[in-house]
Amino acid sequence: MPKKSFLLCLFLLCLTVACNRKTDLYKVVGVKDGDTMVLLSPQYQQVTVRLAEVDCPEKSQAFGQAAKQFTSDLCFGKMVKLIVNNNDRYGRTVGWVELEDGTSVNKQLVKNGYAWQYRAYSKSMEMAMLEQQARQSRLGLWQDANPTPPWNFRKGERENRVENKQDKPKKKRTHRKRRRKHLDTVAF
């Protein structure tokens, strides 16, 4: 009987150590913008992470640089926990990022007014309340009288690119083709 107890205790100790290992922690090695960062995995692989359920202003948009700076100040160089939701169409990991003390980066962005709750992908009442409180307190981007949501900003950017592409005249390549033909016919 004592041998079984000893083995059980040893097993539980090993299980506890395995569960508490910090192998699930990633180091934040880059902040691309307010809601996108690069993490270094325990296996030394870089993982680009898009924060779930939030949408920060684009870098070229009002408060875009401030959102990036906020995210950087909050977590750059720190060890974080990654809770993966899925992958997006760009191959990025979409998920929640928490500091070692349990602070959610996603929630802090919304709470401090540097991100919208991304309602197309989030139905969280807590996130909605955090955004509402930031709006009422006029924090971050809510200082602006009429901030443009990033999804509308991106839509406008896409429409401008399409219009600009249609306005540009197409380049003529006839000169190059004639020259190639001429070089093909020259005998050496």
The residues annotated as belonging to the active site are: 50, 58, 92
Question: DSSP E strands: which ranges in 118-187?
Answer: none
How many CA atoms does the CB half-sphere of 27 hold within 13 Å? 7
Task: Report the greatest alpha carbon distance in the chain.
Answer: 97
Question: Rounded distance, CA 167 to CA 169, Å?
Answer: 6
Q: Cβ-count burial of 56 within 10 angstroms (0-12 exposed, 13-18 middle, 19+ buried)?
A: buried
The residue assigned the tokens 């990025």 is 92
Q: How many CB atoms lie within 10 A of CB 124?
A: 17
Question: Rounded distance, CA 144 to CA 7, Å?
Answer: 63
- C-alpha distances out from residue 100 to 2, 75, 81, 187, Å: 38, 10, 7, 73
Question: Rounded distance, CA 144 to CA 165, Å?
Answer: 32
